[in-house]
Amino acid sequence: MNLTDPPDKHSRRDTERVKMAMAAGAIVGTWFWDVANDRVTVDDGLVQAFGLEAGATQHELPLQQILRSVHPEDHDGLVEAINDAMARGGRYSHQYRARNTEGQYRWLEAIGRVDLAPDGRPLGFQGVLIDIDERRQIETERDQAQTLLRSFVEAAPGVVYAKDRQGRLLIGNHGTTELIGVPPEKYVGRTDAELLNDPVQAAAVMAADERIMSSGRSEQLEETVSFPDGRHAHWLSTKAPLRDADGNVVGLIGTSLDITERKAAEARHHEIEERYRLAARATNDAIWDWRMADGHVVWNEALGALFGHVLMETDAQWWLDHIHPDDRARIDADIHQVIDGDGSAWYGEYRFRRADGSYASVLDRGTVLRGPRGEPLRMIGAMLDLTARRTAEAALAESEERLRFATDAGDMGFWDVDLVHNVLIWPPRTKAMFGISAGVEVAMEDFYNGLHPLDREATSAAFAAAADPVLRAVYDVEYRTIGKEDGVVRWVAATGRGHFEDDRCVRVVGVAIEVTARKQAEARLQELNEHLESRVAEEVAERTRVEEALRQSQKMEAVGQLTGGIAHDFNNMLAAVIGPLDLLAMRLGETDPLVTRYIDMAIDGANRAAQLTQRLLAFSRQQPLQPVPVDANRLVAGMSDLFVHSLGSNIRLETSLASDLWLTFADANQLESVILNLVVNARDAMPSGGHLAVQTSNCPVDVASTDLHPGIPRGDYILVTVADDGVGMSQDVIAKAFDPFFTTKQVGQGTGLGLSQVYGFVKQSAGHVKLCSTIGEGTTVKLYLPRLVADAAVVDAPVAVESALPDEGRELVLVVEDEPAVRQFSVDALTALGYDVLSAEGAAPALALLDGHPDIALLFTDVVMPEVNGRELADEALRRRPDLKVLFTTGYSRNALERDGVIEPGVQVIGKPFSVETLATRVRAVLGVVEGG
């Protein structure tokens, strides 16, 4: 191996390096490869470096034997480098790892040269090995440190960079790249003046950098930067001198964070604080800011202006100590209930002590500011001094009271329109002119809506002229109103004036007088003057009509009184007939069919007479009613089978039931009887068949619908309509249709009490009935029953059930009846039913028997008796015996058991005449043997 006389400059350079390496002890081996014969000559150092067998220096080895010691990861690269060197010749250099004699891989650098023949064939390949393992470790550590540093710089938030002494960028992270807007290769080595778009900004940054490098001290400063897309941002920068190993300043390192949002938040906070400060100075309220952590309270200047306390800061206890002792505990509890709970708003009224010792009435309110966990941090509020307002309110109330006295004395109503706040003030007298109750709230819409359509335009124009700042006209008008609640038309004369502030009308105030009587008198006078003769004729006709209506009403009332009295006596007589016949039938049984038939015929005739009596009572409105909440839909639907059986096959029935029908309060049995009565009448009006409609509906009657329901007072009704397309009625027949005993049917086919019974029941139920009919087109009857507005459960019409004789039991019953025959029947019937019976003809002997027989379980008494009636007897008996059961019987109550025509709750009644079976059922119910009654 020849290391001298290099053939070219590379060889000379390599030779020098080898000499230096050998001198420094860095060369660990040499080799010479005879390429043509593939024989490599090595020295001892290379043998040790490649872990070859001892004595290998004495032999020439093939190259592949030597390459077996190369690290597997480096083997292919080494082979490729050798092949490349032999292909081109000349200098060769490559680094790889080889396993030495100790079995360790160490990094080696092979430096050599390939000699080529004139034809380009490789002849020889010689070189040296240098141990670079320690250098590679240092380079690896350096690379790792640089990678870590680069990762740290890239991961650092904001902008991280380094500059040299001339301000040229040496390194920058992602934030720097984003700020400058170009990749690192475009900005490394360039200054801010070359990179930033804004030269003023660049000059400011470089001046700050120079100051820091010159002073050698770190600084933190805020800078305004501009992005390439035109955005502007605020940065908080920290810059420090960059020093070399000797401590000399060689550049600058810096970091910057984007504080744009923080600056905006600070600006908003500053703006809010400034607004709060200005608001606190501008308001007349005493503003306070209470810090919960230490109880510190900050006040504005109004604390001194309002209450004389020249203080700006106190604690919360100072405020609490200045509250009136009678209010202190309440306010303390109220405000802490909000603070300690989850509330945010608090307000309270109390008395606050001024600096001079007097107390001011204040309205205080505050809002709690809470932290992220809901904990109270601060409370900000304002105290409003109500003293002046309370004084003004008292003075205003006194003034209004005087005005009210004056207007009441003059039968006038005043009015006050606040145009600023759109508030209308009407006292009860003015509201009455518009048909509005005293306690109802009103607004300007009530004024305009209450004006008669013919007067609305002129009245509105007059009011607008009075409020016009240019015209400032006097408001002086007369107009008609239509009552909002009662629909009554009234005439009103109103005058008033507008009150102006500068060029703005703030109020219009005036008075109003009802002039309906005057207007009516004027109208009558004018009408009399114009149509005196026709008016006289009309007045005479109207008077005749009224007198005829009065006579009809008196006739109906007289007939009603007469029928009521007759019904009572007749029911007593029928009770003496039906009852004994019933007992006789029970006693005889089926022994003689002929006798049984005669008894049944007698009972049937008596029952029809009793029904006639009930119709008389219904017409006279003197039948006792037992009203309950009734669903008319359910009642009508339950009568379907009854309708079908009553109508026959040649009449088509149509039932129309309204959804969500209101309830009514009526006697369910009587209502069912009335509807059936109308259906039967309609059937008789269609002898050749036809169409019958039964309909229910909700019927609100108000001002807008009075024309559809003439003569019906305003209110909510349940409307039951029965309409047919039969023969119809003439006007003369319609006028008498509700009269008792009036009928258009042939003799023996009707009593003439059907429609009179309908009329009596509806009137007694506080309702109304309307009849409309046209000859040849049919008849429509409408029943208006008042709506039940209270919440109540619907009660079905009671259904009669068969009853057997009572179980074994000998309860003692006291019968009180002034009619001997009825009394005897009652005694015999109750005895036959298994009860022990005592009887009396009046109240005095009945009370004596009651005192002498404490085991009497039931008092069975007539209602209508001379001197002391049955109700008075029962009251005295119950006073003596609170546990006594009472059952009344009556053919005509004469109101003894009724309140407004309705039987009082809890009263048990059996009507005369009654059968033994009915008596048994009622007695069992009252005594509690069976449920119901």
Rounded average pLDDT over 842-855: 92
What are the tens digits of pLDDT across the range 222-246? 887 776 667 777 878 888 998 988 8
Whole-number pLDDT of residue 857: 92
Comparing 19-28, 64-73, 888-897, the range with the smallest average pLDDT is 19-28
711 in the Ramachandran plot: left (φ > 0), alpha (ψ -120 to 50) or beta? Answer: left
Most confident listed range (198-207, 339-348, 552-561, 758-767): 339-348
Instruction: State both tokens at 524.
Output: 């009558």
78 pLDDT above the threshold of 70:
yes
What are the tens digits of pLDDT across the range 310-335? 998 999 999 999 999 999 999 999 99
**pLDDT over 90 for what percent of the chain?**
32
Whole-number pLDDT of residue 890: 82
CA atoms within 13 A on the CB side of 772: 10
| Residue closest to 111 by CA, chosen among 137, 81, 74, 135 | 81
Angle of CA points 630, 634, 635, to nearest 5°: 70
Whole-number pLDDT of residue 747: 44
76 pLDDT above the threshold of 70:
yes
Average pLDDT, the chain: 80
pLDDT band, residue 464 (cuts 50/70/90): very high
Rounded average pLDDT over 561-579: 60
Whole-number pLDDT of residue 611: 56
Instruction: State both tokens at 688.
Output: 């050749």
d(CA 290, CA 368): 9
Rounded average pLDDT over 134-163: 74
Could you please report the per-residue DSSP string of 108-166? EEEEEEEEE-TTS-EEEEEEEEEE-HHHHHHHHHHHHHHHHHHHHHHHSSSEEEEEETT
What are the tens digits of pLDDT across the range 505-518? 999 999 999 999 88
Instruction: State both tokens at 917.
Output: 């079976």
Whole-number pLDDT of residue 159: 81
Comparing 574-578, 658-662, 855-859, 925-929, the range with the smallest average pLDDT is 574-578
Contact 890, 884 (CB under 8 A): no
pLDDT band, residue 694 (cuts 50/70/90): very high
In this predicted model, which residue has the larger pLDDT, 117 or 602?
117
Angle of CA points 415, 416, 422, to nearest 5°: 130
Query: Exposed, middle or buried by CB within 10 Å (0-12, 13-18, 19+), for 411?
Result: exposed
d(CA 276, CA 281): 8
d(CA 201, CA 193): 9
In this predicted model, which residue has the larger pLDDT, 787 or 525?
787
d(CA 493, CA 911): 60
Alpha-helical segments (H) within 589-667: 593-619, 632-638, 640-647
pLDDT band, residue 587 (cuts 50/70/90): low
**The residue to which tokens 């490789």 are assigned:** 122
Whole-number pLDDT of residue 667: 80
What is the DSSP-derived secondary structure letter of residue 796?
P
Rounded average pLDDT over 54-82: 86
In this predicted model, which residue has the larger pLDDT, 810 or 472?
472
Report yes or no on whether pTM surpasses 0.95.
Answer: no
Whole-number pLDDT of residue 795: 55
Comparing 188-202, 345-359, 841-855, the range with the smallest average pLDDT is 188-202
Rounded average pLDDT over 157-175: 84
373 pLDDT above the threshold of 70:
yes
| Residue closest to 309 by CA, chosen among 379, 362, 256 | 362
Contact 842, 818 (CB under 8 A): yes
Whole-number pLDDT of residue 288: 92
Contact 89, 114 (CB under 8 A): yes
In this predicted model, which residue has the larger pLDDT, 330 or 741?
330
pLDDT band, residue 575 (cuts 50/70/90): low
Whole-number pLDDT of residue 73: 93
Residues forming a β-bridge with 700: 716
5 pLDDT above the threshold of 50:
no
Instruction: State both tokens at 155.
Output: 């991961």
809 pLDDT above the threshold of 60:
no
Whole-number pLDDT of residue 749: 46
Rounded average pLDDT over 262-285: 66
pLDDT band, residue 793 (cuts 50/70/90): low
What are the tens digits of pLDDT across the range 412-423? 888 999 998 889
Rounded average pLDDT over 561-583: 62
In this predicted model, which residue has the larger pLDDT, 613 or 513?
513
Whole-number pLDDT of residue 860: 93
